[in-house]
């Protein structure tokens, strides 16, 4: 069933216009009586039925609220140094499906890609559209967002908003450090805000890593293998999904 994110708080009766109207009428070719899921800004999700379709708007009424909790119990932000090609698109798409709530893109020292203001705005708009489509497809109850930062200091300034800041560091993996990531998971509580930083191709420089550590970040390895810049964030999100969605759930339900 199609899912739409609504930029307003919960209401039992909704009128959709613009792109949502176009998608319902022209793409999905829905008619009165058809149903869809609506997700509101306050994360309330409902199953709704179309009651009327006009030339510029579609009216829907609530049938029932969605009761399945689909979000991770922690709020995860993925920060990626600008990678080449379409790798950032892959990261935001798949990490959205896996439960990430926010994305940050930043220019690392090893980043080859350089986006000026105009290109960056266009790129951000495209990425946000990819995120929304992925969130709809995976039936998220929260629509993730992405922001670009221009300087390292701006990125570090954001650390204060998080309970935990982790840096996925290649050298830590080479040295066999595999405990810090798990230890951090054990310390996290429900609703904890977690930021995980990843370098671009070529990784993060020793100077960048030192700056992040001095600002309170913790280095962590992600197993014995060296992962590509587009693979590492998905490894982390998959591990979090297993830990919270599967492992913890099975423990709770165990008699």
- Percent of residues, the chain, with pLDDT higher than 90: 76
- Quick check: is 166 in a domain? yes
What rounded mean pLDDT belongs to the chain?
Answer: 91
- Quick check: is 33 in a domain? yes
Question: Measured between alpha carbons, how far is 241 from 85 in angstroms, rounded to an integer?
Answer: 27
- Quick check: is 174 in a domain? yes
Burial tier of 199 (Cβ tally within 10 Å: 0-12, 13-18, 19+): buried
Coil vs helix vs strand at 212: helix
Kindly state whether residues 115 and 206 are assigned to the same domain: yes
Q: Are 68 and 47 in contact (CB under 8 A)?
A: no
Which pLDDT belongs to residue 251? 47
The candidate with the shortest Cα–Cα distance to 172, out of 218, 229, 241, is: 218
Quote the distance between the C-alpha of residue 44 and its chain's center. 18
- Quick check: is 38 in a domain? yes
Q: Give residue 130's pLDDT band: very low, low, confident or very high (50, 70, 90).
A: very high
Range 87-100 average pLDDT: 97
Count of domains observed in the chain:
2
Give the domain range for residue 15: 3-65
- Quick check: is 70 in a domain? no
> CA of 3: how far to CAs of 27, 102, 204, in Å?
13, 20, 38
pLDDT tens across 210-235, in order?
A: 999 999 999 998 888 889 999 999 99
Which pLDDT belongs to residue 252? 44
The CATH number for 109's domain is 3.40.1280.10
């Amino acid at each position: 069933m199609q899912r739409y994110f609504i930029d307003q708080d919960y209401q039992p009766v909704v009128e959709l216009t613009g792109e949502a109207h176009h998608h319902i009428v022209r793409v999905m070719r829905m008619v009165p009586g058809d149903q869809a899921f609506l997700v509101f800004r306050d994360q309330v999700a409902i199953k709704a039925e179309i009651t009327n379709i006009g030339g510029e708007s579609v009216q829907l009424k609530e049938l029932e609220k969605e009761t399945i909790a689909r979000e991770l119990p922690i709020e995860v932000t993925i920060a990626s140094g600008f990678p080449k090609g379409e790798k950032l698109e892959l990261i935001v798409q798949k990490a959205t499906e896996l439960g990430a709530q926010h994305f940050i893109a930043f220019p690392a020292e090893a980043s080859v890609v350089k986006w000026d203001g105009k290109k960056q705005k266009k790129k951000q708009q495209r990425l946000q559209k990819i995120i929304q489509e992925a969130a709809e497809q995976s039936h998220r109850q929260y629509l993730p967002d992405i922001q670009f930062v221009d300087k390292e200091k701006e990125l570090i300034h954001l650390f204060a908003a998080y309970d935990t800041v982790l840096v996925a560091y290649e050298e830590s993996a080479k040295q066999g450090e595999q405990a810090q990531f798990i230890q951090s998971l054990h310390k996290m509580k429900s609703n904890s805000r977690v930021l995980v930083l990843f370098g671009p191709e070529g990784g993060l420089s020793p100077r960048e890593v030192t700056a992040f550590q001095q600002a309170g970040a913790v280095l962590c390895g992600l197993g014995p293998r060296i992962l590509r810049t587009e693979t590492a964030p998905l490894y982390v999100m998959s591990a979090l999904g297993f830990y919270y969605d599967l492992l913890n759930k099975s423990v709770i339900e165990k008699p």
